[in-house]
Amino acid sequence: MTSEIFAIEKTVPQSAARAGILTTKNGVILTPTFMAVGTRGSVKALDPQDLKKVGSQIILANAFHLILRPGLELIRSFGGLGSFMGWPGPILTDSGGYQVFSLADARTLNEAGVTFRSPYDGQKLFLSPELATQAQMDLGVDIIMCLDECAPYPATFEETAKSLDLTLGWAKRSLEAWDPSRGQILFGIVQGGFYPELRAKAAEAIAAMNFPGHSLGGLALGEPFEERLLAIETGRAKLPEEKPLYLMGMGTPEDLIESVHRGADLFDCVLPTRNARNGQFFTSFGRLNINNARHKTDQNPVDPKCSCPTCRVFSRAYLRHLFQNHEPLFPRLATIHNLSYYLGLMSAAREAIMADNWPQFKADFYAARTGEA
Amino acid sequence: MTSEIFAIEKTVPQSAARAGILTTKNGVILTPTFMAVGTRGSVKALDPQDLKKVGSQIILANAFHLILRPGLELIRSFGGLGSFMGWPGPILTDSGGYQVFSLADARTLNEAGVTFRSPYDGQKLFLSPELATQAQMDLGVDIIMCLDECAPYPATFEETAKSLDLTLGWAKRSLEAWDPSRGQILFGIVQGGFYPELRAKAAEAIAAMNFPGHSLGGLALGEPFEERLLAIETGRAKLPEEKPLYLMGMGTPEDLIESVHRGADLFDCVLPTRNARNGQFFTSFGRLNINNARHKTDQNPVDPKCSCPTCRVFSRAYLRHLFQNHEPLFPRLATIHNLSYYLGLMSAAREAIMADNWPQFKADFYAARTGEA
C-alpha cells in the first residue's frame, strides 16, 4: 500500500503494526519513529549533532511558541526553522492549538478563531486556522498540523461534541489555506475525546477531507490506559491504512509499543527529555531514578544493554554526582540517553516488524521490564 | 633550559615569554595554555569530547569540593578523577585553600591546619597541608598544589606577612607529605599579596624548597591591573626560569597576554565558562553580550574570525533566542565558543613565540580589540 508520500514496506498479521517510509522535502523517515520535542526551536540541552547521534530522523517544534518568540519574520529571514536552528533534517510543527488552550490567558474562542494574551508579554493576539497554517508554511517545515481544539479530560459528551465540531470546521479551513505546491505535508487531526461515537465521527470526517496524513490528538490527558487504547483503535479503524498516522504527545515506552501495535507511525512526547532533566532514565528494564542512594557508588552505566554516548562513558555514580550538584552537563547526558532509548526502541520495533518478529519483540519488551538491570 | 618535567623550546628577546613542553603522567602539554575549570569534576555544560574539541590539553578541578562531594573514597574506587569523569588527559587540582577561606563557614585557623564547616551540610571538617596533599594524591591527578592561605585584598602589610608565614610553613609540610614516586607533580605556591617585598620573599622561599613547578596565587582579587602585573613580575624574577609557572585564577584575555609576556605558562579562570552562562562571549574584537538588542536579527556568527563548533553553525540571532528563553543548549554553545577562544588565544600565542613573532602578535591582539566585528 502506498500513498504519494508514504510507502508501507511491511505489515504484521493479527496486528495493525507496520513499517513504512515517509518522504518529506528534507528527507526520508523510516517509521515507526519518535520525534524529539524542540518546542522553541531547540531540543532541550541537545545540539543538531547530538540529535543525529541519538538517531533522530525528524524533530518537532511548536508554531505557537515560535510565532510569539522569536517571531515568524526572523525565522523566515533565515530561510526557515531548519536553517535558523542548524537542523538539516525534517521538522514537524504542531499548530499551537493545544498551547493556546493550555498556556495562554484570557482566551476568547469562536468559529473565526481564538483571541488570547501571550504568556510572554501579555500582548493580545489572534490565531485562526488560516493564520496557523500560513505560519507553519512560513516556518518552512516539512509536516504541518491543522489548528484544532483539544477537549479537556474529563469532558461531557456535549462539550466534546461541540469542541469536535469546531475542530472539524477548522480542519476544512486549514486544508483550504494550505498550499500543497510548497512540498509541505498537512496532517488532519482526529479529536473526539473518549467517546467512541465521537472519535469515530471525527476520524470519518477527517478521512473524508483527504489529508496526506493523519494525527490522533487529545490523548494522554490523564485518562486510563484502556480508554486511551480504545480511542486509538476507534480512530485508526476509520482512517485509511495507507496514510501515515501520528499519535500526538504520547507517551511512555509502553504507550509507544501498544500504539505501534495499533498502527501508529509517528510519536512525540516530552517524557524522555523532561524526565531526563529531573533525573529519571528510561531503560530496557524500566525507569531508573538516578537520585536513589543505591546508585551512589555504582560503576555500571545506566543501562548495561545500551550503547549510547552516555552509557558508553559514564557511570551511575558519576551521573548521580552531576545531578546532585546541579551540574549543567547532567541534562545533556541524561537527555542523550533517554532519546537514544526512545529512538532505539522504535528502530528495534521497525526491525522486528521487517523480520516478521513483532509478537516476540513485544513479548520480550515486557519481559525485560523487571525494574532491575 | 630543561627541568625534569619541563622543556623550554623557545624564548623571546626583550620578553619573558616562552613556549614549553610540560610532561605529566597522563600526557604532554604544550605551553602556554589555558586550563578549563571543572571544579566538581565537570567543566560546566561540557563533556570530555567537547573539551577535546575546544583544544583542552589539561583541565582543572578542586580538591576541596571533591573531598566534600562525592568524597575521596568514591573517586578512588574508580581509579581516580580522570576515570570517574571520563577525561583521559592530564588534570591539575587546586588544594582547596582558597575555597576554605572563601566558601566555608566557622573557620578556625592555626599552624596545624584549618577547621571549618562544610558549605554542603554543615559537617565539621579539618584540612591540613598533609591531608590536602594526600587527598590530591588520592584523586590520582597529574599536578597538585600545596595548601596555602590567600590573603584578602586589600590587606595590611602585617596581615599579609603573617598569612605568608603560614603559607610558607604549609608549603614545606606539603612537600614533605608528597610522594614523588607516584608520578604526580607538586607545585609550590607563591603568595605575598601586593607588597613587592613580601612577594619577593615568598618567591625566594618557595624557590629554595625546590618544587618541580611554581604557582603565583592571591591575584585577581580586585587589585588594579598595574599592581597585578607588578606582583607577577616580582614573583617571576625570584623563581628559576626553567620551571613551569602557573598563574592561579587568572584572568581576562588581556591578563593572559600580559602574563605570557611576563613568563607564565599555565592559566585557569572561571571567566570564559561563567560569563558564557551569563550571555557574554569573548571574541577577537572584544566582548559581546548576546542579550543586546542589536543582535536580534543578526545572521553572523558570534566571531566571524572563529571556527569553533558554535561559530560554524549558529548565528547571533539564534544564540540570543536560546539565551532569552533560558534554553539549556545555550550554556553549552556559549562555553564551547569561549573556551575555544581562550585556548585558541594561547595556542596562537605559542605559535607566535615559536615563529619569532611575539611582539607583532601582541600588537595585533590589541589592535583587533575595537569592540566591533
**pLDDT digits 0-9 by tens, A102-115:** 877 778 888 999 99
pLDDT (0 to 100) of residue B1: 57
- Which chain A residue has the Cα nearest residue B65? A325
Query: Is A180 in CB contact (< 8 Å) with chain B?
Result: no
Complex ipTM value: 0.97
Q: Report if residue A373 sits inside a domain.
A: no
Q: Give which of A76, A90, A114, A117 is closest to A23, Cα–Cα.
A: A90
Q: Report if residue A268 sits inside a domain.
A: no
Task: Find the mean pLDDT for residues A175-194.
Answer: 98
Bridge partners of residue A91, in order along the sequence: A59
Helix (H, G, I), strand (E, B) or coil at A252: coil
List of chain B residues whose C-beta atoms are within 8 Å of the C-beta of residue A318:
41, 78, 84-86
- Measured between CB atoms, which of A49, A277, A325 is closest to B69? A325
- pLDDT (tens digit per residue) in A8-63: 999 999 999 999 999 999 999 999 999 999 999 999 999 999 999 999 999 999 99
Do A77 and A224 sit in the same domain of this protein?
yes
Question: Is the CB of residue A291 less than 8 Å from the CB of residue A58?
Answer: no
Which grid coordinates are listed for B68? 566534600
Q: Report if residue A139 sits inside a domain.
A: yes
Cβ A327–B40 below 8 Å, yes or no? yes
Cβ A317–B277 below 8 Å, yes or no? no
- Which chain B residue has the Cα nearest residue A46? B329
Q: Report if residue B44 sits inside a domain.
A: yes
pLDDT (0 to 100) of residue B11: 98
Do A167 and A60 sit in the same domain of this protein?
yes
**Closest Cα of chain A to B291: distance in Å?**
13
- Cα–Cα dist A357/B229, whole Å: 72
CA dihedral over B157, B163, B167, B169, signed as positive or negative: positive
Q: Give which of B322, B300, B320, B321 is closest to B311, Cα–Cα.
A: B300
List of chain A residues whose C-beta atoms are within 8 Å of the C-beta of residue B44:
327-329
- Which chain A residue has the Cα nearest residue B39? A327
Q: Could you give the number of structural domains in chain A?
A: 2
Do A44 and A158 sit in the same domain of this protein?
yes
- Measured between CB atoms, which of A44, A45, A318 is closest to B84? A318
- Per-residue pLDDT for A148 more than 60? yes
List of chain B residues whose C-beta atoms are within 8 Å of the C-beta of residue A85:
318
pLDDT (0 to 100) of residue B57: 98
- Per-residue pLDDT for A1 more than 60? no
Q: Report if residue A27 sits inside a domain.
A: no
Task: Find the mean pLDDT for residues A237-249.
Answer: 98
List of chain B residues whose C-beta atoms are within 8 Å of the C-beta of residue A332:
45, 47, 328, 332
Do B311 and B262 sit in the same domain of this protein?
no
Q: Which of residues 344-363 of A touch B (CB under 8 A)?
A: none
pLDDT (0 to 100) of residue A2: 67
Active site residue B165: no
Do A136 and A207 sit in the same domain of this protein?
yes
Do B233 and B123 sit in the same domain of this protein?
yes
Cβ B47–A333 below 8 Å, yes or no? yes
- Cα–Cα dist B28/B48, whole Å: 17
Q: Give which of B204, B210, B203, B223 is closest to B175, Cα–Cα.
A: B210
Query: Is A66 in CB contact (< 8 Å) with chain B?
Result: no
Which CATH number characterizes residue A193's domain? 3.20.20.105
Distance from the Cα of residue B344 to its chain's centroid: 15
Average pLDDT, chain B: 96
- How distant, in Å, are the alpha carbons of A17, A247, A320, A352 from that of A9? 11, 20, 43, 13
Do A218 and A292 sit in the same domain of this protein?
no
Cβ B86–A318 below 8 Å, yes or no? yes
Which grid coordinates are listed for B209? 624548597
pLDDT (0 to 100) of residue B361: 98
Counting residues of chain B whose pLDDT is more than 70, the rounded percentage is: 99
List of chain B residues whose C-beta atoms are within 8 Å of the C-beta of residue A299:
77-78
pLDDT (0 to 100) of residue A24: 98
- How distant, in Å, are the alpha carbons of A97, A102, A126, A129, A172 from that of A132? 9, 17, 10, 5, 13
Distance from the Cα of residue A225 to its chain's centroid: 18
* pLDDT band at residue A354 under the 50/70/90 scheme: very high
- How distant, in Å, are the alpha carbons of A144, B121, B143, B270 from that of B61? 48, 21, 10, 11
Q: Report if residue B12 sits inside a domain.
A: no
- pLDDT (tens digit per residue) in B127-151: 999 999 999 999 999 999 999 999 9
Query: Is B325 in CB contact (< 8 Å) with chain A?
Result: yes
- Which chain B residue has the Cα nearest residue A300? B78
Cβ B321–A48 below 8 Å, yes or no? no
Which grid coordinates are listed for B356? 619569532
Last residue of a domain, one of B211, B241, B269: B269
- Measured between CB atoms, which of A42, A317, A321 is closest to B327? A42
- pLDDT (tens digit per residue) in A276-294: 999 999 999 999 999 999 9
- Which chain A residue has the Cα nearest residue B48? A313
List of chain B residues whose C-beta atoms are within 8 Å of the C-beta of residue A317:
70, 74, 78, 84
- Measured between CB atoms, which of B46, B299, B333 is closest to A78? B299
Which grid coordinates are listed for B246? 602557573
Cβ A299–B47 below 8 Å, yes or no? no
Task: Find the mean pLDDT for residues B294-319.
Answer: 98
Do B91 and B164 sit in the same domain of this protein?
yes
- Measured between CB atoms, which of B74, B309, B327 is closest to A40? B327
- Per-residue pLDDT for A131 more than 80? yes
- Measured between CB atoms, which of A86, A324, A331 is closest to B328? A331
Minimum mean pLDDT among A257-261, A342-346, B108-112, B271-275: which range?
A: B108-112
Residue written as cell 576554605? B100
- Per-residue pLDDT for A266 more than 60? yes
- pLDDT (tens digit per residue) in A207-232: 999 999 999 999 999 999 999 999 99
Task: Find the mean pLDDT for residues A173-201.
Answer: 98
Mutation choice for A interface testing from B329, B332, B333, B339 by most A CBs within 10 A: B329
Last residue of a domain, one of B269, B293, B317: B269
List of chain B residues whose C-beta atoms are within 8 Å of the C-beta of residue A47:
313, 329, 332-333
Task: Find the mean pLDDT for residues B336-360.
Answer: 98
Query: Is A325 in CB contact (< 8 Å) with chain B?
Result: yes
Question: Is the CB of residue B193 less than 8 Å from the CB of residue B199?
Answer: yes
Cβ B324–A69 below 8 Å, yes or no? yes
pLDDT (0 to 100) of residue B96: 86
Do A40 and A156 sit in the same domain of this protein?
yes
Minimum mean pLDDT among B110-124, B286-300, B328-342: which range?
A: B110-124
Do A313 and A224 sit in the same domain of this protein?
no
Cβ A329–B48 below 8 Å, yes or no? no
Cβ A44–B328 below 8 Å, yes or no? yes
Do A346 and A227 sit in the same domain of this protein?
no
Last residue of a domain, one of A240, A262, A288: A240
List of chain B residues whose C-beta atoms are within 8 Å of the C-beta of residue A86:
313-314, 318
List of chain B residues whose C-beta atoms are within 8 Å of the C-beta of residue A296:
70, 74
Query: Is B324 in CB contact (< 8 Å) with chain A?
Result: yes
Do B251 and B135 sit in the same domain of this protein?
yes
- Measured between CB atoms, which of B46, B69, B77 is closest to A297? B77
pLDDT (0 to 100) of residue A279: 98
Q: Residue B13: is the preceding peptide bond cis (ω within 30°)?
A: no
pLDDT (0 to 100) of residue A105: 76
Q: Which domain holds residue A220?
A: 33-240
- pTM (two decimals): 0.97
